[in-house]
Amino acid sequence: MLSGHLDFPRQALLPLMLAGLVGCSGVSSQNQRPQAADTLTGAVNIAKGTFRATALAAVHQPVTTARLGLVTLWQRPREIIMANLPSGLRSQGGIAQAPGTPEFEQLLDHKRFPRAGAGSVRWLVDGKGFFSQLDREIAAARESIDLQIFIYDNDDIGVRYADRLKARAESVSVRVLFDDLGSTFAYSAAPQTPGPQGFTPPADMAAYLRDHSKVRVRRITNPWLVADHTKLIVFDRRRAILGGMNIGREYYSEWHDLMVSVDGPVVGSLSREFRRAWRKAGPWGDFGLFRQPAIFRRGEAGGAGYPMRVLRTDPAEGRYDILDSTLLAIRGARKRVWIENPYFAHDAVVLACEAAARRGVDVRVILPASGDSAIMDAGNSATAKTLMQAGAKLFRYPKMTHMKVMICDDWASVGSANLDTLSMRINRELNLVFFDPAAVRSLENAVFRADFKVSRRIGLSETGSTTAGLAEAVAAQL
């Protein structure tokens, strides 16, 4: 049974793959509970979103639509073919450059990854850490608040922050950008925990944010049902927050998750990422990317820090930075590969971790005890079996962990990307990678050491299933 808020593309693709139908069901299979959009409203919203994702996107973003169509037609067969090759043909050997060393950074430069900029990070663990910081930043902003999110939910938490943004828009520039179908499908799935008694969710958060306010709102349309899974908030172009959390009750109080507060010159790069997405979602669509507002000629915020890179999955631009850097870091690891991720099903990453474990690297993976997708849970179990047979240690966090975190030796990656085909090859994602020893050590303590203590180690006998083969094949495409 599928339950809770699945990320939109996963739900859209299951019917496509299993029944050959174009459609999706963001609505939980359980009975509708109060505080979610009613069936009729949900159906109308989905119909509107589907129209925007097809007809309007083709006109508004013709270049992106064409590119994504070609990418989708190529990447899915490619993943199926690669998954069915013998493991020896799919796997790649280790590399000489260990992650967390100058030599590894030189390798990334040589392979033309985005150049490193200076910055520093702080960890915002769970809703308590993120939303309390979000409150402070919204209140402290002096010029602008730019918020891009995958799901801007219409539950009581979404409304609460919409009201705060509307209030601040009276004195500062506030722009909100969210994925169209990702948010639309979330409206019909009630959270696990109830909100205030008598709360009625708005039918459309874009309309609610605009109503009697100066907030500017744009939707990211979804050509070929491809999503922009980015979560990025920039304040005054001088501080940013990014990571795995959306705006909604799951992230506020139900799930284990991580956001990262970023300071320093690298925030200039993050601000440009937002502005590019904002222009593309505007009235000019693809053609808006040719316009260069005067703001682009301003210098970046000053400040010290350590080197970090802003990486993307962006198939319309031919960018697979996150997958390529992940594979290089795992292949180069000498001491450890520690991963916490809710969806671990990408074959190339699994094979790289398997090879690392077999050469004696300390490979540890934390998975959710119970995720928001039965198919992905089964896929995680298949991954766990493969890695455990190679000598890795697998753990189950006691509830849903939505973190997307990896440490390889003294190099770390955090952000929005899951370890699945959608995040590695199809959707648009944003990660931050860095190799400062003190910063990596603080991430180790804030996330991994704390989560190892409360997680239960998985036994090999727990990974068997009569449907494991089918589940793994489906999960590898999601």
Task: Read off the CATH number of the domain in which 445 is found.
Answer: 3.30.870.10
Average pLDDT across the chain, whole number: 86
pLDDT for 377: 81
Instruction: List, for residues 34-91, the tens digit of each pLDDT value.
Output: 566 667 777 787 888 888 888 778 888 899 989 899 888 887 777 666 666 666 545 6
Residue 23 and residue 44 share a domain? yes
Residue 333 and residue 268 share a domain? no
Q: Mean of the pLDDT values across residues 382-401?
A: 96
pLDDT for 9: 46
pLDDT for 37: 67
* Residue that is last in its domain, among 271, 304, 337: 304
* Residue that is last in its domain, among 285, 304, 323: 304
User: What does the angle CA 19 – CA 24 – CA 30 come to, to the nearest 5 degrees?
Assistant: 100
Q: Mean of the pLDDT values across residues 282-290?
A: 81
Residue 394 and residue 292 share a domain? no
Please say if the pLDDT value at position 121 is more than 70. yes
pLDDT for 286: 84
Residue 92 and residue 187 share a domain? no
pTM for the full predicted model? 0.88
Q: How far is CA 184 from CA 45, 49, 58, 151, 430, in A?
A: 6, 7, 20, 8, 21
Q: Mean of the pLDDT values across residues 378-402?
A: 94
Instruction: List, for residues 355-368, the tens digit of each pLDDT value.
Output: 999 999 999 999 99
Please name every residue paired with 428 in a beta bridge, in sequence order, or none if there are none.
228
Please say if the pLDDT value at position 219 is more than 60. yes
Please say if the pLDDT value at position 187 is more than 80. yes
| % residues pLDDT > 70 (the chain) | 83
Which range has the worst mean pLDDT, 158-162, 320-324, 379-383, 468-472? 468-472
Start-to-end C-alpha separation, the chain: 16
Q: Kindly indicate the confidence band of residue 475, based on its pLDDT and cuts at 50, 70 and 90.
A: low
Residue 5: closest CA among 23, 21, 24: 24
Residue 194 and residue 106 share a domain? no
Q: Mean of the pLDDT values across residues 95-120?
A: 97
Residue 267 and residue 133 share a domain? yes
Residue 451 and residue 426 share a domain? yes
pLDDT for 397: 97
Region for residue 365 given its phi and psi (left: phi exceeds 0; alpha: psi -120 to 50; beta: otherwise): beta
Largest CA distance in the chain: 61
Residue 205 and residue 296 share a domain? yes
pLDDT for 304: 79
DSSP 79-147: HHHHHTS-HHHH-----SSPTTSHHHHHHHHHTTPPPPEEEEEEEEEHHHHHHHHHHHHHHH-SSEEEE
**Domain count for the chain:** 2
| % residues pLDDT > 90 (the chain) | 67
Residue 363 and residue 255 share a domain? no
Please say if the pLDDT value at position 456 is more than 70. yes
Residue 67 and residue 102 share a domain? no
* Residue that is last in its domain, among 254, 271, 304: 304
Element (H, E) at 413: strand 411-415
Residue 268 and residue 330 share a domain? no
pLDDT for 351: 95
Query: Domain residues for 450?
Result: 87-115+309-478
Please say if the pLDDT value at position 163 is more than 50. yes
Residue 241 and residue 171 share a domain? yes
Please say if the pLDDT value at position 267 is more than 80. yes
DSSP-assigned letter for residue 231: -
